[in-house]
Structure 1
Amino acid sequence: MYAPSMWTTLKLIGLLALCYGAIIVWMYFSQRGMIYLPRQALVATPDEIGLPFEDVRLTNRLGTEIHGWWLPVEHPRFTLLFSHGNGGNISHRLESLRIFHDLGLNVLIYDYSGYGQSHGEPGETATQADARAAWDWLVENRKVSPDSIILFGRSLGGAVATALTAELAETHATLPAGLILESTFTSVPDMGASLYPWLPVRYLARYQYDSETALSALDVPALFLHSRDDDVVPYTLGHRLFTRYKGRKSFAELQGDHNTGFLETGQSYAGALDSFLATLAQ
């Protein structure tokens, strides 16, 4: 008398398992589109906010042409290599360029492969090659001393900047003067597990961006910034990256959400950056 009910239950379980499996397959193959959100059209240029700049064309070690902007200042305190987040392109970072300019920094900001006017397609190997090409351009073309360069990475860019620092250390190259990691994460698998705890994300991850491991072998002065109200990258991941780093470090808490926290924090944000620059200059 219970057979029909049992059969219905088994069918329901089978349907749920099929749906769960379909979600896993979708998750596995859609990761690139979830991680990289490029836009090709540039919506503005630095001269629209009164900042002189130079268009820069680089070629990374994969043979891909990369586009960036070089924004010099007179008597720079340091030179900042800017690795941006996973969305948009360099033209969406004018507010940050203004802040860095006012702090007395030369800035090289570049677009990853497949972003803005950069050719190719984004990927973990590609972003690492893009960052190294930008570093080499500063050191080899602009003759900027490596120990006067600060690597800045926001969100995904924090992982890119960290990977670049680790690569320089592995090749026994001169390391940057400092590292600024804003609103970033420990690794992509950690991010996925936080966002989708009901999925076996760690087994599905095709991208790693393992900043926690990369930082474990480094001793570069580092400033970490994160907001408790970050709606994209959990504060716990950003703060864990800070607490587990064994090098010289400091932490500044931002206010506001993931994309506008540095603006909502206001003068305190620029103040934290200025204090960090001052310690590097000592």
Structure 2
Amino acid sequence: MIKFKQFQEKCPNHLRLSYACRYDYSGYGQSSGKPTEQNTYADIETAYKCLIENYGAKEEEIILYGQSVGSGPTVDLAARLPHLRAIMLHSPILSGLRVMYPVKRTYWFDIYKNIDKISLVNCPVLVIHGTSDEVVDFSHGKKLWELCNEKYEPLWLKGGKHCDLELFPEYLTHAKKFISTVEKSPSQRSTWRKVQNSLNLPDRALIALNHQGRALIKRKI
């Protein structure tokens, strides 16, 4: 189930007009089906295609956001999109099995293997994690950041737990800074910028937020 809603919130000036796209994973909320790993990959793919086909978004305009288990579908999709603008990972996991056991290798039956896919992501990556996370250990976010190809200054929130990071003032400040930076970054978006400038088009930014079954898209037009 995918829904769009226009909304306003505290964002950088270039993100004045926003839209929210919320979707339920298979088997949750108003979505039918079963909540399996492969189905969640199909779910985020469907949300992405909806942006491209129904709303005229371009890959290089999109920033993906994944929180906790939602980082799995986010990293999986990002690894297959070479021109994505950026991704934000909030309390991400290395893999499903590693959340429960400190294994040193990847097993075939593991799920959401972010540790093996993050190196395939070729866009700027912001990682945010609380140092006192009681669900997904802080080491998950730290290790993922170390494995990123295009690292952005991470945000390690001292004392932050799994579900309270948005309450820290640094959270929004750092996220705004990241969005502003990738908006101006020439890497992998240079071609789009040249076309944009030559045609005198306005800036547009889209953010797909995947938070354990949700996606938000913010768009300036």
Shorter-chain TM-score bucket reads 0.7 to 0.9
Q: Which residue of 2 aligns with 1:47?
A: none
Contact residue 231 and residue 258 of structure 1 kept, 8 A: yes
Contact residue 184 and residue 233 of structure 1 kept, 8 A: yes
| Structure 1 letter corresponding to 2:120 | A
Question: Which ranges of 4 or more aligned residues in structure 1 deviate by more than 6 Å?
Answer: none
Residues 142 and 179 of structure 1: is their aligned pair in 2 closer, same or farther, counting only changes over 3 Å?
same
Shift of 1:138: 0.4
Residues 273 and 167 of structure 1: is their aligned pair in 2 closer, same or farther, counting only changes over 3 Å?
same
Q: Which residue of 2 aligns with 1:44?
A: none
Give the TM-score normalised by structure 2. Answer: 0.74
Q: Which residue of 1 aligns with 2:206?
A: none
> Identity over the aligned pairs, expressed in percent?
28
Rounded to whole Å, the distance in 2 between the matches of 1:225 and 1:107 is 22
Q: Is it true that 1:185 corresponds to 2:93 in the alignment?
A: yes
Give the gaps of 5 or more residues in structure 2.
Answer: 185-221
Match of residue 247, structure 1, among 114, 128, 150: 150
Shift of 1:260: 1.8
1:28-177 aligned at under 5 Å gives the runs 67-72=1-6, 101-103=9-11, 104=15, 105-169=18-82, 175-177=83-85
Contact residue 44 and residue 74 of structure 2 kept, 8 A: yes
| Structure 1 letter corresponding to 2:2 | G
Shift of 1:201: 10
| Structure 2 letter corresponding to 1:272 | H
SS at match of 1:112: coil
Residues 151 and 202 of structure 1: is their aligned pair in 2 closer, same or farther, counting only changes over 3 Å?
closer
Contact residue 181 and residue 225 of structure 1 kept, 8 A: yes
Contact residue 224 and residue 242 of structure 1 kept, 8 A: yes
Q: Deviations over 1:11-32 (max 9, x none)?
A: xxxxxxxxxxxxxxxxxxxxxx
SS at match of 1:257: coil
Give the gaps of 5 or more residues in structure 1.
Answer: 1-66, 74-97, 170-174
Q: Which residue of 1 aligns with 2:187?
A: none
Rounded to whole Å, the distance in 2 between the matches of 1:240 and 1:248 is 12
Residues 202 and 217 of structure 1: is their aligned pair in 2 closer, same or farther, counting only changes over 3 Å?
closer
| Structure 2 letter corresponding to 1:106 | Y
Contact residue 124 and residue 207 of structure 1 kept, 8 A: no
| Structure 1 letter corresponding to 2:85 | A
Between Structure 1 and Structure 2, which shows a larger proportion of helix residues? Answer: 1
RMSD: 2.2
Rounded to whole Å, the distance in 2 between the matches of 1:72 and 1:150 is 18
> How many residues are paired up?
178
| Structure 1 letter corresponding to 2:143 | R
| Structure 2 letter corresponding to 1:163 | D
SS at match of 2:101: helix
Q: Which structure's CA Rg is the greater one?
A: 1
SS at match of 2:22: strand
Contact residue 75 and residue 117 of structure 2 kept, 8 A: yes
Residues 117 and 207 of structure 1: is their aligned pair in 2 closer, same or farther, counting only changes over 3 Å?
farther
Shift of 1:149: 1.1
Give the TM-score normalised by structure 1. Answer: 0.58
Greater relative contact order (Cα < 8 A, sep 6+): 2
Shift of 1:189: 2.4
Match of residue 280, structure 1, among 182, 201, 204: 182
SS at match of 1:253: strand
Residues 122 and 201 of structure 1: is their aligned pair in 2 closer, same or farther, counting only changes over 3 Å?
farther
SS at match of 1:216: helix
